[in-house]
């Protein structure tokens, strides 16, 4: 089975010092395609360099809502120029972008402005987006509707309600399923993952974050994605080959990846 990890920070050297070795282990585990989302402007150069020299690795440069102190106005202009040169850079989306109201005292106004500016860049470049959303799904959905954004994308590590997931799906978004579902106590997301339609689901690790139940206390790795697949297939009472097939097809469709 071939798998696609739609959200993995394999470009972060402080966590993955030997990129080639990590990539080889992922490939050996069947993870043949990996999407690297951006977080801050300083990381875009390495991220896209790795994409350009690695088979099956694609980038999604963007400005993360929780790192406002690292973002500057000219970064938005740079992002716009970067994705307009899309063909040589292997950028398949803008990410990870969105709203995060989980921490106390976040600047919601600044997050909103940054989100809307990046939505416009994605719309102009006709690229999908990788969404980072915590405690703000209704606000993100309202923004997407108000801005008439039609390029779709993926809601990374989805943590909302079934109704919110359905609302994203109606707007052309896939729902990112990660290692959270491997925990028995995560009943809400396990139930949602079992109920959503096939055509809405994609897989991710968010490595090095969100370690799986079988790897508590460890860093996460893209080579663990088959364990997410196995859990999802079990929850949906279907063969793993079936789950792998449609989650990969969904990722290719949403991100416009070649077969």
The 10s digit of each residue's pLDDT in 225-248 is 999 999 999 999 999 999 999 999
- Residue 236 is classified by DSSP as T
Write down the pLDDT at residue 217.
87
Q: Are 181 and 157 in contact (CB under 8 A)?
A: no
Residues of the chain with pLDDT under 50: 87-88
Instruction: Kindly list the structural domains of the chain, giving each domain's residue range(s) and its CATH number in brackets, ordered by start.
Output: 3-255 (3.20.20.140)
Per-residue CA distances from 192 to 101, 187, 202, 252 (Å): 22, 9, 13, 22
Rg (CA), the chain: 17
For 153-170, the pLDDT digits (tens) are 999 999 999 999 999 999
**Count of other CB atoms within 10 angstroms of residue 69:** 8
Per-residue CA distances from 226 to 7, 229, 253 (Å): 14, 5, 21
Those residues with Cβ within 8 angstroms of residue 28's Cβ, 6 or more apart along the chain or in another chain: 223
Write down the pLDDT at residue 222.
98
What's the whole-model pTM score?
0.97
**From CA 92, how far away is CA 38, in angstroms rounded?**
12
């Amino acid at each position: 089975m071939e798998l696609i990890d739609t959200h993995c920070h394999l470009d972060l050297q402080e966590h993955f010092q030997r990129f080639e070795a990590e990539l080889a282990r992922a490939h050996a585990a069947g993870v043949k395609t990996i999407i690297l989302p951006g977080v801050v402007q300083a990381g875009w150069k390495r991220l896209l360099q790795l994409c350009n020299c690695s088979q099956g690795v694609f980038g999604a440069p963007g400005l993360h809502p929780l790192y406002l102190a690292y973002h500057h106005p000219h970064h938005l202009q740079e992002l716009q120029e970067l994705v307009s040169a899309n063909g040589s850079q292997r950028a398949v989306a803008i990410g990870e972008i969105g709203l995060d109201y989980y921490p106390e005292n976040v600047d919601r106004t600044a997050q909103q402005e940054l989100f809307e500016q990046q939505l416009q860049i994605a719309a102009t470049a006709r690229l999908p987006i990788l969404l980072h959303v915590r405690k703000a799904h209704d606000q993100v959905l309202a923004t997407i509707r108000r801005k008439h954004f039609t390029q779709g994308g993926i809601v990374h590590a989805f943590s909302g309600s079934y109704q919110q997931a359905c609302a994203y799906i109606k707007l052309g978004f896939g729902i990112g399923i990660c290692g959270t579902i491997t925990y028995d106590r995560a009943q809400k997301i396990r139930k949602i993952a079992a109920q959503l339609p096939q055509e809405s689901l994609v897989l991710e690790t968010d490595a090095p974050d969100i370690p799986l139940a079988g790897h508590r206390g460890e860093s996460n790795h893209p080579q663990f994605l088959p364990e997410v697949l196995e859990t999802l297939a079990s929850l949906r009472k279907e063969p793993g080959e079936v789950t792998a097939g449609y989650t990969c097809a969904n990722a290719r469709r949403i991100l416009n990846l070649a077969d």
